[in-house]
Amino acid sequence: MLELTGVLLLFMVMAAIIAIETKDLLGAVISVTAVGFGSIIAFFYLRAPDVAIVPIVVEVVVLVILIRATLRAGLKTFIGNRPFFGYLVTVALLVVIFLAGIRVFGGLPAFGDPVVARIPDAPARAYIESGLEDTGATNVVTAVLLDYRAYDTLGEATVLFTSIVGAVAILRRKARKKPSDPEADEW
Amino acid sequence: MHYALVLMLFMIGLYGVVVKRNLIKIIISLIIMETAVNVFIVMVGYRSGGMAPIMQQTMATETFIRNSVDPLPQALVLTAIVIGLGVTALTISIAMRLYERYGTYDVREIRRLRG
Amino acid sequence: MVDLTPNRGMTPIVQTIAGWTKGLVFLFGIYIVLFGHITPGGGFAGGVILALTFVLMTLCCGKESALRKMPMHIAAELDSVGALMFLVIAWLGVWSILGGTFFTNYIAKWNRGLPYHILSSGTIPLCNIAIAVKVAVSLFLVFTLLVMTRVIHKPNE
């Protein structure tokens, strides 16, 4: 099972490299959707069916929106990165960050040995043990989401609402001048 | 090994954000970074040979407690995915407006025409 | 060409199949929402599946078909209604008879219900419904807006 997850992650890395480096914008959009669908299968292997349902639809919506933004623009593709010296400095910096990250990840518990299995006082252990008695919900993820940590969900709803309002305000055709203007309600 | 692959995915996204000039490529890189972070957080809670954190009627509670994976990272990632969609929609709408104004997705052109 | 309505979506084959399946997809979304506290799913997953119905209608039959079922102003109001429903459910817990704190699961304190039944676990199914309405309408709104917007270079504006 661990090897399968590794193969999936390798597939995602390759799709990400193609998405970044290809010169065809449509190919890049489809490759980033491949990364997303690879993550969906990885969620299923990591025993997270709750999480795996959501990005299926999200990836489709992002694909359609990105294609819409890419195709109708009469697009001139252009090649080329930053100037050579700045590019070299950037890549060197990224490699340094990568190596430091490898060192940091060495201090984490090994993959497949989570905190909930090692520490008896971990909060997640309380959720697993007493979730059914406290809330009556057999799906522990929903119990955490809407009972134990409902503030998190409230904040998520606020952020989603704000971002949608921002998108609507940016994309609206004309600014609303007068409240009595009959054309002001046009989207 | 697995964490290194996820970190590599994240670094590819960071490379795209820093180096690329096309706004659509930058948005794509942001989506890749977000996917990497989501997969990493779910991976932290994985228990080898574990089961999904959903109780079944035929199973004893003791078995469930011993085998279930960590439900907390999954709950956090579930909200993060929906927020990621909102952020992506916001960035794409800003990019569309910039295209209407400047006629290009090139970041340097947009910067040059300012003011 | 058999297609009698140009620029109004795809071919009649696709439109007919989409007409058959969109009800099933909507029903599946409702199932995922209502059984979110028992089986995998919940408000977020069910909400995005409900929004997928409108995405399907927009892609296959044109945006008029989806906007006839749910006009923009109703969608904007439903978005607020979902958020308000979630807040009202949370605020009722502040009432001292029910619990005294924000987000108390007051129904589960009074009667938890039988496990593995749909009428169990207190306020969680109600919160699931509120979240599902919010997520579905938000997704529909942003998708329709981004698809409707035409990307044209207008330098003189």
Three-state DSSP string of C78-141? HHHHHHHHHHHHHHHCCCCCCCCCCCCCHHHHHCCCCCCCCCCCCCHHHHHHHHHHHHHHHHHH
Q: What is the pLDDT of residue C49?
A: 92
Largest CA distance in chain B: 68
Determine the structural domain holding residue C91 and report its residue range: 12-148
Hey, what amino acid is at B82?
V
Please determine, for residue A84, whether its predicted confidence score (pLDDT) is greater than 80.
no
Question: Is position C119 within any domain?
Answer: yes
Query: Rounded to whole angstroms, what are the CA distances from C155 to A77, A174, B100, B103?
Result: 20, 16, 7, 7
Instruction: Enter the tokens of residue B8.
Output: 């590599």
Chain B contacts to C (CB-CB under 8 A): 52, 54-55, 57, 78-79, 81-82, 85-86, 89, 92-93, 96, 99-103
Distance CA A36, CA C54 (A): 22
Q: What is the pLDDT of residue A125?
A: 84
Verify whether the Cβ–Cβ distance B99 to C153 is below 8 Å: yes
Q: What is the pLDDT of residue A134?
A: 79
pLDDT class for C4, splitting at 50, 70, 90? very low
Instruction: Count CA atoms closer than 13 A to A2's CA, side-chain side.
Output: 11
B73 vs C152, more confident: B73
Verify whether the Cβ–Cβ distance C145 to B85 is below 8 Å: no
Candidate from A59-63, A105-109, A181-185, B34-38 with smallest mean pLDDT: A181-185
Distance CA C36, CA A136 (A): 12
Residue with tokens 């960050």: A97
With beta carbons less than 8 A apart as the criterion, state whether C6 and C62 touch: no
**C126 vs A contacts (CB less than 8 Å):** none
pLDDT class for C2, splitting at 50, 70, 90? very low
Q: What is the pLDDT of residue A10?
A: 93
Other chains touching B, judged by 3 or more CB pairs under 8 Å: A, C
pLDDT class for C153, splitting at 50, 70, 90? low
**Considering just the CA atoms, what is the radius of gyration of chain A in Å?**
23
Please determine, for residue A72, whether its predicted confidence score (pLDDT) is greater than 80.
no
Q: What is the DSSP letter of B20?
A: -
Instruction: Enter the tokens of residue A124.
Output: 């997640």
Verify whether the Cβ–Cβ distance C149 to B78 is below 8 Å: no
Residues of chain B short of pLDDT 50, as ranges, are none
Question: Is position C110 within any domain?
Answer: yes
Residue B46 near chain A (CB below 8 Å): yes
Question: Which residue ranges make up each domain of chain B?
Answer: 2-47+55-112
B3 vs C154, more confident: B3
Distance CA C42, CA C63 (A): 28
Question: Is position C109 within any domain?
Answer: yes
Distance CA C6, CA A178 (A): 37
- Which residue pairs from C122-126 have beta carbons closer than 8 angstroms and sit at least 24 positions apart in sequence? C122/A135, C122/A136, C122/A147, C123/A146, C123/A147, C123/C89, C124/A135, C124/A136, C124/A137, C124/A142, C124/A143, C124/A146, C124/A147, C124/C36, C124/C37, C125/C34, C125/C36, C125/C37, C126/C85, C126/C89
C21 vs A3, more confident: C21
Q: What is the ipTM of this complex?
A: 0.88
pLDDT class for A168, splitting at 50, 70, 90? confident
Q: Which residues are within 8 A (CB) of B110 and not within 5 positions of it... i.e. 6 or more apart?
A: B23, B98, B102, B104
> Exposed, middle or buried by CB within 10 Å (0-12, 13-18, 19+), for B60?
exposed
Q: What is the pLDDT of residue A184?
A: 44
Closest Cα in chain C, distance from residue A99 (Å): 37
Average pLDDT over chain C, rounded to whole? 82
> Exposed, middle or buried by CB within 10 Å (0-12, 13-18, 19+), for A170?
middle
What is the three-class DSSP state of A83? coil
Closest Cα in chain C, distance from residue B106 (Å): 14
pLDDT tens track for C23-45: 999 999 999 999 888 888 888 89
Candidate from A140-144, C95-99, C132-136 with smallest mean pLDDT: C95-99
Q: What is the DSSP letter of A130?
A: H
Q: What is the pLDDT of residue C6?
A: 47
Hey, what amino acid is at C143?
F
pLDDT tens track for A126-161: 888 888 887 888 888 888 888 888 888 899 989 988
CATH architecture for residues B2-47+55-112: Orthogonal Bundle (1.10)
pLDDT class for A173, splitting at 50, 70, 90? low
Nearest chain A residue to C47 by CA distance is A54
Mean pLDDT confidence for A104-128 = 83
Distance CA C69, CA C78 (A): 13
> Exposed, middle or buried by CB within 10 Å (0-12, 13-18, 19+), for B67?
middle
Q: What is the pLDDT of residue A78?
A: 60
Question: Is position C153 within any domain?
Answer: no
Q: What is the pLDDT of residue C90?
A: 87
**A72 vs C contacts (CB less than 8 Å):** 150-151
Please determine, for residue C155, whether its predicted confidence score (pLDDT) is greater than 80.
no
pLDDT class for A111, splitting at 50, 70, 90? confident
Average pLDDT over chain A, rounded to whole? 82
Residues 11-30 of B with CB under 8 A from A: 11-16, 18-22, 24-25, 27-29
**B81 vs C contacts (CB less than 8 Å):** 44
Q: Which residues are within 8 A (CB) of A173 and not within 5 positions of it... i.e. 6 or more apart?
A: A186, A187
Please determine, for residue A180, whether its predicted confidence score (pLDDT) is greater than 70.
no
Mean pLDDT confidence for C85-104 = 82
Q: Nearest-5° angle of CA B107, CA B112, CA B115?
A: 120
Mean pLDDT confidence for A20-31 = 88
Domain count along chain C = 1
Please determine, for residue C5, whether its predicted confidence score (pLDDT) is greater than 60.
no
C73 vs A83, more confident: C73
